[in-house]
Amino acid sequence: MCLGNLFPSASQLAIIKIEIMLKQNLEYWDISLKNPEPALDESYAFNDIIVEDEELIDKIEKLRNLIITYCMVLEINKNKHEQVLNEVLDKIYEIVSATRNIQYTEFVAFWKTLDLSYSYFTSLSEQDKKLMLRQILENYCIKRKELYDKLGYSNIVVQALYDSGASRKKGKIGINKIMNLIFEKLGEIKKFSDIEELKNTKCGYFLPDGNKTLFNDFIRDYRLSYRFGELYQNKLPDVVLKVAEHFFIIEAKHINEMGGAQDKQIAELISFIDQSEQLANIHIHYIAFLDGIYFNYFINPTQGSKLHQQKEAIESCLRRNRSNFFVNTAGFTNILEDVSEECKIWL
C-alpha cells in the first residue's frame, strides 16, 4: 500500500475547498449577549512595579530635596536669592523633563490642581517649560510643601499614581488579546508584509497601524470604499484577518465605564459596522469587537435608555449589513471556531 496516496499533493491542495460555515450575524450577537464579559479579564491585568527602579527613585528623592530647597529659599527672600533659585530651577527642570515616569510623583500630580498637565509641559519650548515650572513651584511651595512635610513622603504614592493610570495603557493590550484568540483558534498563521503575500496566501493577518502601506494597497487593489476612514480622519482598523476569500476587518474597543466619552466610542463601533462592500468572489466582513463590562449593559437595558437606543442601533446595522458582526469575546471566539477548519488545511 502506498502511503503517499493517502495525502493530497500540492496541486490537489490548490483545488480543495472547505466552505466556511458562518452563522447569521445576529446569531453571533445573540451568543455574545448570552455570554457576558467577566468582571476581571486577565488579558488586561498588569503588575508593573516602578518603585523597584533604583534610578527612578533616586531621581524622585533628588527632586523632592530640590523642591524643599527651592521653597526654603523662596520663603527667605525671593529677590535677594534669584540666582540660587534659577540654579535650583535648572536642576528641577533637568529631572522633570528628562526622567521617564517622573509624572507619577506627588509634585507632578499637583499640576492638575492648576489645570496643567505633564503632556502639555512636554510640548513646550525649554524657555516656556522653565516659566511654567517656576509658576507651579511657587504655588506648590504655598499649597503643598508644609502639608507634605508634616505627613512625610512615601514612594507608595509613586506606585499608586502609576497604578491609577493603568486604564491609559490598555490600547495595544486589546489588539494583543485579539491576536491571542486568533492564534489559539487558527494556529500560528502568517503575518502579511505586502500585498502579494496577502493575495497569494489563504490564511493570514496584518495590523494596519503597523503597516499603513499594505492597508492602503489592500483598499486600492480590492476596491474597497472603507467609508469609516473618511468619517473618522483616516482612522485605521486594528486587525485585518484573511481566511480563504473572506476578509475580516476588525475594530476593537475595551470599555468598562459609562459616560460621554464611552458613548462616542460606541457610536464609532456602530458606524464601523454600518458600511458594506459589494464585491465579486470575495467577502468583506467588518467586525466591531467590544469587550469590558460595558458590553454587559446591552443584555437587558432599560426601555428608552441610551443603552437601549445603542442596542437597537447595533441590531439595525446588523440587519442592514448581513456580512458584518458586533461581538464580545465569546462571539468573536465563535466566529474563529467557525472559520478554523478553512485555515487548518493550509497550515
Could you read off the pLDDT of 84-100 as tens digits, one per residue?
999 999 999 999 999 99
pLDDT of the residue at 17 = 47
43-47, 160-164, 240-244, 259-263, range with the lowest pLDDT: 43-47
C-alpha cell of 248? 475580516
Mean pLDDT of 236-258: 94
Average pLDDT, the chain: 89
Residue 146 and residue 152: Cα distance in Å, rounded? 10
Mean pLDDT of 298-315: 96
Please report which confidence band the pLDDT of residue 198 belongs to, taking 50, 70 and 90 as the band edges.
Answer: very high
pLDDT of the residue at 5 = 42
pLDDT of the residue at 343 = 80
pLDDT at 323 over 80: yes
| Overall residue count recorded for the chain in this entry | 347
Q: What is the number of alpha carbons within 13 Å of residue 20 lying toward its C-beta?
A: 25
Sort 290 into a burial class: Cβ within 10 Å, 0-12 / 13-18 / 19+: buried
Q: Tell me the backbone φ, ψ of residue 249, rounded to 5 degrees.
A: -100, 115
pLDDT at 33 over 80: yes
C-alpha cell of 143? 499649597
pLDDT at 12 over 60: no
Mean pLDDT of 258-263: 84
Please report which confidence band the pLDDT of residue 14 belongs to, taking 50, 70 and 90 as the band edges.
Answer: very low
pLDDT at 223 over 60: yes
pLDDT of the residue at 167 = 60
How does pLDDT run across 115-174, given as a tens digit for each residue? 999 999 999 999 999 999 999 999 999 999 889 888 888 899 999 888 887 666 565 778
Measured CA to CA in angstroms, residue 194 lies from 211, 281, 289 at distances of 9, 21, 25
Please report which confidence band the pLDDT of residue 340 belongs to, taking 50, 70 and 90 as the band edges.
Answer: very high
